[in-house]
Amino acid sequence: MKKELILGVGLLAALPAVSSAIVWRNDIPESTVLSYGAGARFAGVGKINVGGGFGTGTFLGIGTGGQAWGISAKHVITTGNTGSFTFEDGGSYTISGAVGFAGVDVSVFKINGWNRNVFTPTLHTDGVYTIGTQFDSAGYGGHGAEGSIGGGYGFDSKRRGMQTVLNSTRTASFAGENQFQMIDVFNSPTGGARPVEGFGAPGDSGSMLLDNSGAIWGVLSGGQFEQYGAQNWYAAITPGVAASIYSTTGISPVPEPISMVALVGLGGLIARRRKKS
């Protein structure tokens, strides 16, 4: 295992908006990850701005009293924080509050004035974490192909998408708390990479791991330097965490009909298709 960066994502949440984000396999064009990030399943993925730093969050649903909620990492936004939830098309929403959950780098946040009709994910609730499960993710921030660090990253606040696979699980300490984590590996084109293989980086903290059925399994919590063979770890949505989220927000664990229609319609696309703040 390569040496982990001392700056782990718990500190990167405070970095200014020049931090890097999605890094992609270096044999595909940038247009591919931009196009993937523009997919309908990522329409609710926005940039969380708190103070001078930022991360990534995802619209989670409408809860008690018509309140819109999003999900992210606790080191991006947590209890007592406010900020804004912004999108590359210029849309901006006030975040009026957040709730961070004990023992896991996961939080939910209140979105004021939400008026977007977007895909609504569910949460993974069965407690089974099958190695090899395929996921999608998306994030904001700077960007670059693998190997381009050293002046190659850019920043344009556009959402970029990626594919990854669950490599392993573990229980490990993060920010003083033991949490159950899911691990992915940045595979090279000759090492089992998926067609839009990518890897979360600073600016992607809180980005979701979304399975092919539309369920979120975890959010990006930390990781290693963005190069082939490196690992990222995601705070897992365990049955207990999912129950706490649904109880806190009042969101129904059953997706709305429009979400189901969107998911079915995207089945064919899925078959063909950070990390840190």
Domain annotation covers residue 177: yes
Instruction: Supply the pLDDT for residue 143.
Output: 80
Closest listed residue to residue 101, CA positions, set 120, 126, 73, 125:
73
Instruction: Supply the pLDDT for residue 149.
Output: 61
Q: State the DSSP string of 41-94.
A: GGTTEEEEEETTEEEEEEEEEE-GGG-EEEEE-TTTS-TT--EEEE-TTS-EEE
Domain annotation covers residue 169: yes
Domain annotation covers residue 25: yes
Domain annotation covers residue 271: no
d(CA 55, CA 275) in angstroms, rounded, equals 8
Instruction: Supply the pLDDT for residue 50.
Output: 96
Show the domain range for 175. Answer: 8-39+123-240
CATH number, domain containing residue 174: 2.40.10.10
Q: State the DSSP string of 139-204.
A: E-SEEEETT-TTT--EE----EEEEEE--EEEEEEETTEEEEEEEEE---TTTT--TTBEE--TT-
Domain annotation covers residue 184: yes
Domain annotation covers residue 94: no
Domain annotation covers residue 118: no
Q: DSSP secondary-structure letter at 266?
A: T
Number of domains in the chain: 1
The order of strands in the sheet holding 198-199 is 154-155, 142-145, 20-24, 198-199
Mean pLDDT by 10 residues, the chain (277 residues): 31 34 88 96 97 94 98 97 96 98 97 97 98 96 76 74 97 93 97 95 92 97 91 97 98 65 42 38
Instruction: Supply the pLDDT for residue 164.
Output: 97
- Provide CB contacts within 8 A for 173, sequence distance 6+: 179
Q: Give the Å distances, CA to CA, from 164 to 202, 223, 244.
A: 17, 14, 27
Q: What is this structure's pTM?
A: 0.86
Instruction: Supply the pLDDT for residue 152.
Output: 55
